[in-house]
Structure 1
Amino acid sequence: MTFKNKVVWITGASSGIGKGLTLELAKLDCKLILSARNGEKLEEVKAACGNLENIQILPFDLADYANMKLVVEDALKLFGKVDLLINNGGISQRSPIIETSIEVDKKLMDIDYLGTVALSKALLPHFVSNQSGYYVVVSSLMGKFSSPLRSAYCGAKHALHGFFDALRLEHDNDNIKVTLICPGFVNTDVARNALTANGSKQGYQDEMTENGLHVDVFVKRMLKAIQKEKYEAYIGKFEAYGIYVKRFFPKLLHKLVLKSKVN
C-alpha cells in the first residue's frame, strides 16, 4: 500500500488523531478530504498544511447517518474518486452503567457505530465499481476487551469489529481492504469530550490519557500499519498487551483491569 496519488478521506479530522493524520499525510503525494462537524476547525487544520490545492473540506455530522449517500456524492465531486476512507470520527464515554442514561448508549451507537457503518456502506458501491478500495477504522483496544466506566464506548467499538470483519470477507474478490486500528491511550481530548451519565461532557483529562502516546508517535505507527495492510493493529504502551492476556488468560486480565488505575 502506498499513499502516492491516492485520495484519502479522513473523518474526525478537526482535532486529535484525525488532525495528526492530516498533517502527516499532507507531506505525502496524495489528496485529502477532511471531515468533521466544525468547518472552521477543519479550515484551521487545512491552513496548517502545505499543498492546499490538494486538500478539500467536507463538514458533516456522523450522527446524521440517514444522509450519508448525499455526503458521499459530495465527496466524490471534490477529486472524482476516493481510494481510502479513514473512519476516525467518534466520541467516548465515562460513567457507571447503572447511572448511564440509555440516550447516552444510543448516542454512542449512532455516532461511533451507525454513522461509521452508514458512511462506509454509502461509499461501498464506488469501491466495488473501481474494484479497489480501502477502509481504515479507528476502533480501540476497548473494541477487543473492556474496562469499567466505558460500557457504551466498548459496545460500539466491539460492534465495529463484527461489521468490518464481515465486510472484508464479503468483498475480498472486489479487492477491498480493511484495517482496524486499535489505539490504547493517546494524549488527545478524547477524555475531556467523553460523555458522562447524563450526556454532558466530562470536561477534564484523566491521568492515563495524559500519559498516553503522543499523537505524532501514534500516527506514524498507524500509517505503517496501513502501508502493511494489516487486518488489525494494536497501538499503545503497556495496555496493548491486554489483547494477548485476554486471549490466553481472560480471568487474569479481569483481575489486572480491576487493580489498574483506569478511570
Structure 2
Amino acid sequence: MSFQDKIVWITGASSGIGEALTYELNKQGAKVIISSRRQKALQKVKTSCLQASKVHIIPLDLTKTEELPSKAEEAISHWGAVDYLFNNGGISQRSEAINTQMNVIRQVMEINFFGTVALTKAVLPSMIERKSGHIVVTSSVMGKFGTRLRSSYAASKHALHGYFDSLRQEVYDKNIDVSLVCPGFIKTNVTKNALEGDGSKHNKMGAGQEKGMAADEFAQKLIPKIKQGKEEIYIGGKEIWGVYLKRFFPRLLNKILRNAKVT
C-alpha cells in the first residue's frame, strides 16, 4: 500500500507529531491538508515540505465545533475527497484533580474529545459514500491508564477509545478503518503547552518528553502500521509496558505509578 497521491488531512499539524507526520507523508507522495489554529506556523510547515505544492492549509479551532462541517466541506472539495483523517490536534494538562477548575476540564474535553468527534462526523459521510477511508486518532498511553496530574487529559483520551472502538464496529462493513494511536513519551512541546489547574500554560518541558522519542522517528514508525490497518498502535519507550501491566497486573502498575516521577 502506498500513500502516493492519497489525500490526507492532519490536525495539530503546526508542530510536534502532526508536523512530523506532514513531512513524512509529503515525502511519500501524499496530498496533505494541514490544520491548526496557528496559520503562520502552518505556512512554515508547508514551506519546509519537499513537495510544497501538494500541501493545502485549512486553519481551524477544534473548540469551534460549529465551524467544522464547513472546514470539512473545504477539505473534501479541494482535492475531491479525504482518504485519511489524522485527528492529531489536542492539549494536555498538569494539575491535581482537586485544583483543576471545571472550565479547564471542559476545555480539555472540548479539544481532545468533542472537537475530534465533530470533525470525524463531518468527514465520515463522504467516506461512507465512497466506501473508503481511514480515520486515525492520536490518543496516548494515558488512554489506557491514568497517572497523577493528568486526570482530565487521561479522561479525554479514555473517552476517545470508547467512542472510536464503537465507531470502528459501525463502519467495518463500509470499508472504513479506524486506528487509535497511543504514543508514549515523544519529544514535543505537549508538556510546555499543557494547562495548569487555573488554565494557564505549564511552560515547562517534562522530563519524560525531554528524553522521549523524536517526533520524526515516531512518524516513521507509525506510517507502516497505518498502512497495515492496525486498530490500536503503541509507540514509545518503556512506558508502553504500562499498557500491559494495566491489563494483567493492575495493582502492580498502581504501586509503580504512585512512586513514579510523572512531570
The TM-score by the shorter chain falls in which range? over 0.9
Aligned residue number for residue 70 of structure 1: 70
The whole-number CA distance in structure 2 between the counterparts of 1:238 and 1:212 is 10
Aligned residue number for residue 145 of structure 1: 145
Runs ≥4 residues deviating over 3 A: none
The whole-number CA distance in structure 2 between the counterparts of 1:204 and 1:239 is 20
Aligned residue number for residue 245 of structure 2: 245
Aligned residue number for residue 106 of structure 2: 106
Aligned residue number for residue 228 of structure 1: 228
Deviations 1:175-195 (A, max 9, x none): 010110000111100000000
The whole-number CA distance in structure 2 between the counterparts of 1:6 and 1:26 is 10
What is the CA-CA distance between 1:258 and the residue it aligns to?
1.1
Gaps of 5+ in 1: none
Pairwise mapping of residues 8-157 of structure 1 onto structure 2 (< 5 A)? Answer: 8-157=8-157
Percent identical among aligned pairs is 47
Letter in 2 for 1:246: K
The whole-number CA distance in structure 1 between the counterparts of 2:120 and 2:128 is 12
Letter in 1 for 2:218: F
What is the CA-CA distance between 1:53 and the residue it aligns to?
1.6
The size of the alignment, in residue pairs, is 263
What is the CA-CA distance between 1:67 and the residue it aligns to?
2.0
Aligned residue number for residue 202 of structure 2: 202
The whole-number CA distance in structure 2 between the counterparts of 1:35 and 1:107 is 19
Matched position secondary structure for 1:153: helix
Letter in 2 for 1:39: Q
Tell me the TM-score normalized by structure 1: 0.98
What is the CA-CA distance between 1:51 and the residue it aligns to?
1.6
What is the CA-CA distance between 1:259 and the residue it aligns to?
1.5
Tell me the TM-score normalized by structure 2: 0.98
What is the CA-CA distance between 1:100 and the residue it aligns to?
0.4
Letter in 2 for 1:16: G
Q: Larger deviation: 64-73 or 166-175?
A: 64-73
The whole-number CA distance in structure 2 between the counterparts of 1:23 and 1:86 is 14
The whole-number CA distance in structure 1 between the counterparts of 2:29 and 2:191 is 33
The whole-number CA distance in structure 2 between the counterparts of 1:51 and 1:16 is 20
Gaps of 5+ in 2: none
The whole-number CA distance in structure 1 between the counterparts of 2:29 and 2:220 is 16
What is the CA-CA distance between 1:243 and the residue it aligns to?
0.7
